[in-house]
Structure 1
Amino acid sequence: MTSPSPGEEVFSLRFYQTMPHTCSYLPNREATTLFLDPQQPLTQDVYDSLSQVGFRRSGRHLYRPHCQNCNACQSVRIRAEDFQPNRQQRKVWNRNQDLTTWVVEAQFKEEYYDLYEHYLEVRHADGDMYPPSVDQFRSFLLLNASWARLVEFRDPDHRLLAVAAMDRLNAGLSAIYTFYAPEEKRRSLGVYAILWQIELAKKLNLPHVYLGYWIQDCQKMNYKQNYQPLEILQQQEWVPFHPEENR
């Protein structure tokens, strides 16, 4: 499946390239990142166009990997309307039907940060996002834009169990990041947040849910191939993704 080409306005944009730095995903490798000029207004049209060529959002920055000798980071997206949950995903969906969801502005709340801090301390204390800080949280997940949203997942006692950062684009929903109560293992809240966003995309008649980058040799990224049918961006074309063919 070929997506529409980026709008003409993209070709007039200015981009910058970082110096090589340690890769966050693959050991003993260096990475380079291409990012949109921070002075460029981050409009939905610009974001939409750049998402078609593999860009992601972090805070108010749009970026994509731009490594000279490596193309391991592959953009993937779910075809929402055609998505068929597997047996385990159906169990996760049913198990979380007691949760209430609220879609809110991507603004700071102490309650959000407390959950984010707890999540990183328990699940990712060995990662490059640790230790967490309020500034890091704000710069990574918050943005004052009509299309940038946070989704709250609350239990029947109104306790906040998970938060998903999500952007609404014309081409679909972009799943930015999810953090959750790590002690609620049985709920598989990370899986549920993706399933919920797929269902929302269907209700909004949006064709895709963007999952960011899949990396064949990074175990942390393997979960993305469980959401089928999936598409992968190869040579500037979105094509069906069959994991067994990429091994």
Structure 2
Amino acid sequence: MSSNMNSSYCQAQVVDLMQVQLRFLTISDVATVKVHCLDWFPIEYPDSWYLDITTDNGKYFSLAAVHLGQIIGVVVAQTKGLESCREEDQEILSAKFPLDSRVTYILVLGVCREYRRSGVASLLINSLLEYLRNEPVQNVTQRSRAVFLHVLSDNMAAISFYSRRGFVLHSYLPQYYEVRGVARDGYCYVRYINDGHAPYSGLDKIYHWLAYRAALLAGILCHLPILILKRWRKIARRMLT
């Protein structure tokens, strides 16, 4: 799954955010959300996924922005233990945090074309962050430490949006996506919350410094330097443990 705001530009419709209502998705929204996602994203989701995100089972944070009775934007996120994330995503937190630390993955953030650049996406993201900061838990250590997402490397509109809202580049993901049978590169972006923070060790600093600069040149460099860098990091970690 991925979070990937559509980068195509269109003239935004002026909307008063005071007239935009927020509510959680319900099973009756399946057809509408499916139509929107097919328009917003180059990736097709199975029908079972739409049923899952609209069912009140506590698994997802699925919020809709509604204007004049119509869904105009959606954010879907899942909070889970770090150990259940992909290997490359388990490194978004410092090693001081145990693997059962909770992190939140944004699967979907999308807004209807005519409402883009009007603040709806920011409203949805801010609502998610506010919920995670004040999530009712028995112990504050159970709150999510980071919010992260994956985005196509050429989706500059989405990258700019997340960067302006405090998300930072964590890693470059060569050939991470498969879009209509074609391999596409991606990035992982992270925003730290609730006292979560990135790895601080010298090795991690070197890796992220190099990975960030390699990502900036990803459009003109082949993938070999990235693969060598990742292999070097694994070897170095084994030598230091």
TM range (shorter): 0.3 to 0.5
Query: Greater share of helix residues, 1 or 2?
Result: 2
Larger Rg: 2
Q: Does 1 or 2 have the higher relative contact order (CA < 8 Å, sep 6+)? A: 1
TM-score (norm 1): 0.43
TM-score normalised to structure 2 length: 0.43
